[in-house]
Amino acid sequence: MGYILLGIFLLLTAIGVPVAYSLCLSVVVILVFFMDMPLVVVSQMMYSGIDSFSFMAVPFFMLAGAFMSAGGVTSRLVSFSQSLVGSFTGGLAQTVSMAGCFFASITGSSAANTAALGSTMINELEKRGYGRDWASGIVASSGVTGIVIPPSITMVVYGAIADTSIGDLFVGGFIPGIMMGISMMIVSWYLAKKRGIPKEGNFSVLNVGRAFKNSFFALLTPVIIIGGIYGGIFTPTEAAAVAAVYGIVVGMFIYRELKLKDFPEIIFQAVIGTTFIMFLVGAANVFGWMITNMQIPHQIAAWVMSITQSPIIFLIAVNILLLIAGTLVNASAAVVILTPIFLPVAIGLGIDPLFFGVLMVVNLAIGCITPPVGLDLFVASAIAKVPIERVFQHSMPYLWALLVVLVILTMFPWFITVLPNMLR
Amino acid sequence: MLDKFLKGLRAILRYFSVVSMLIMLFVIFGQVVTRYLFDYTPEWSEELARYLFVWVVFLGSALIMGESGHLAVQFLPLKFKDRPLGTFFDIIINISSYIFIGILFWQGLRMTRIMTFQMSPGMDIPMSYVYAVIPLSCVLMMLFVVRDSVKIIKGILSPKEVKG
């Protein structure tokens, strides 16, 4: 029966039936032909999956990022990053990765991050002799930290599904996100040295101070979110609403680039983005109810443990699976579908759900630039108008660096758990 | 005809969902403010936002079909596009959509009809008002599925007309 359920789901999905439909239809087949149960569970479980306060953080974080980027935050974060690292070898490329990290602390999605960086930085990089292909590779890779550094929509989704503290997940993503950013900056430095990109500009504390002042209100966003959640002032969902309203205030009244007429389109995009995730969450809730009913996660856990008792080997297998999954579907969607299957096994092997969640997110982030179909590659290719093959040819070195970070994180959970443990 | 109608429908849905989202945002933001300033949390605020969220998601699921579509793995359909196997896939996708949305419609309608007496704890409104969005959005989604059917039939009747 379990094979029939999974078989129908995989078959329909492979043909191209929307994943949400195939999740529900495979459950329907089991209900109708193998169980004597009313079909009303389909609509009931779908409803109860969507009717969730935690998930409401998803559209709010989308709005916060969109309001701020329409408000002109990106260019200010870029100048701040440039004042810090612009004078090194390959400074402008490093600036992009660093600005990616800063922008990640406002937005919760890597595609949004790549899009924001791409629209401002690709031409700039080209002008300074990096070439359009390399520029698009840098931008695609620099976007990935979007879902690792808090706030993160993917972490909200994981937290709500796995019943893990969203605040802890957010804080747990900090060090991994910064490690990813630094690893990419090192790659840029090395490549720029090898390819003879001239150094430019001088480091000046005065510049840093001025740029910091300009981008202060943007940089304050993560402080408000994390501080508010850990200070017990608000829940993650309320934090997201506060961040969105803060985004409106900063964009409209401080930087004054956000206009009222931009609102409908920004909000509409958040509606579409939210539905994209939430309809799937509802359908996955139906499917999750069925597999739990049939004790499938339990069976998978028993099966995995009959092969290996080692958490590391399991994590390596999960890493590989997630890298593939991350290229096929959007990171949050992968979390929705795969968490109910992987998490019971992880817990069975004694792996901390918090550590597992952050690792999953890092993994799926890297999946965004894994060829042939990583999402960020497409975004960068569309913005730069560079064929996708050339984007991933140039994001390859960054991909390797990120994989090294992934291995380090897998071997040493400390990097992920240290901050949440300190704050808890 | 259908396309024109869908376009008008999209405009209405878009308007509704954008307004709902704004209300959600300010209700939740307001809840933080009133709790901090007046030490008071309205008992309806979270519930209202949550129900609006459900409405937005379900109506959005019809809207999204006129945009990028629901998440699907496009690998095989793109590979066999404009070939008999591709058309076969399209037909399966189309039929699956009818079945899924049809089931969701009927069961959603049942929930709506049964729950007229159950009241929500916070706002004291019948739960059917909330559940009603399920059958409603299914009807709207169905329109988009019909549009896809028309497209497939047209494709079969006049094959390889505009290829490349």
| A317 shares contact with chain B (CB less than 8 Å) | no
Of A8-12, A37-41, A137-141, minimum mean pLDDT range:
A37-41
A47, A63, A336, A388: best mutation site toward chain B, by most B Cβ within 10 Å?
A47
CA B13 to chain centre: 10
CA of B159, closest CA in chain A: separation in Å? 21
> Could you tell me if A214 and A76 are in contact, meaning their C-beta atoms sit under 8 angstroms apart?
yes
Residues 123-182 of A with CB under 8 A from B: none
Q: Which residue of B has its CA nearest to A57?
A: B25
A235-270 per-position pLDDT tens digit: 999 999 999 999 999 999 998 899 999 999 999 999
Transcribe B28-69 into DSSP letters. HHHHHHHHHHHS---TTHHHHHHHHHHHHHHHHHHHGGGTT-
Cα distance between residue A403 and residue A316, in whole Å = 12
A160-209 per-position pLDDT tens digit: 999 999 999 999 999 999 999 999 999 999 999 999 888 887 888 888 99
Q: How confident is the model at residue B163 (pLDDT cuts 50, 70, 90)?
A: very low
CA of A190, closest CA in chain B: separation in Å? 36
Cα distance between residue A309 and residue A314, in whole Å = 8
Q: How confident is the model at residue A343 (pLDDT cuts 50, 70, 90)?
A: very high
Q: How confident is the model at residue B159 (pLDDT cuts 50, 70, 90)?
A: low
Does A123 have pLDDT greater than 50?
yes
Question: What 3-state class would DSSP assign to B132?
Answer: coil
Q: Whole-angstrom distance between the N-terminal and C-terminal Cα of chain A?
A: 43
The pTM (predicted TM-score) of the whole model is: 0.91
Structure tokens at A288: 């999750």
B2-11 per-position pLDDT tens digit: 888 888 988 9
Does B162 have pLDDT greater than 60?
no
Does B161 have pLDDT greater than 60?
no
| A329 shares contact with chain B (CB less than 8 Å) | yes
The pLDDT value recorded for residue B164 is: 39
- Taking CB atoms and an 8 Å cutoff, what residues of chain B touch A28? 99-100, 103
**CB-based contact A272 B72, cutoff 8 Å:** no
- Higher local confidence (pLDDT), A353 or B164: A353
| A348-351 contact pairs (CB < 8 A, 24+) | A348/A301, A348/A304, A348/A305, A349/A304, A349/A305, A349/A309, A349/A310, A349/A311, A349/A314, A350/A311, A351/A311, A351/A314, A351/A315
The pLDDT value recorded for residue A200 is: 81
B141-152 per-position pLDDT tens digit: 999 999 989 989
**Nearest Cα residue to A96 out of A132, A125, A70:** A125
Give B126's strand partners. B119
The mean predicted confidence, pLDDT, of chain B is 88
Does A36 have pLDDT greater than 90?
no
The pLDDT value recorded for residue A116 is: 87
Q: Which residue of B has its CA nearest to A266?
A: B18
Contacts across the A-B interface (CB distance below 8 Å): 172
| A235 shares contact with chain B (CB less than 8 Å) | no
The pLDDT value recorded for residue B4 is: 87
The mean predicted confidence, pLDDT, of chain A is 91
B54-108 per-position pLDDT tens digit: 999 999 999 998 877 788 887 788 888 778 888 899 999 999 999 999 999 999 9
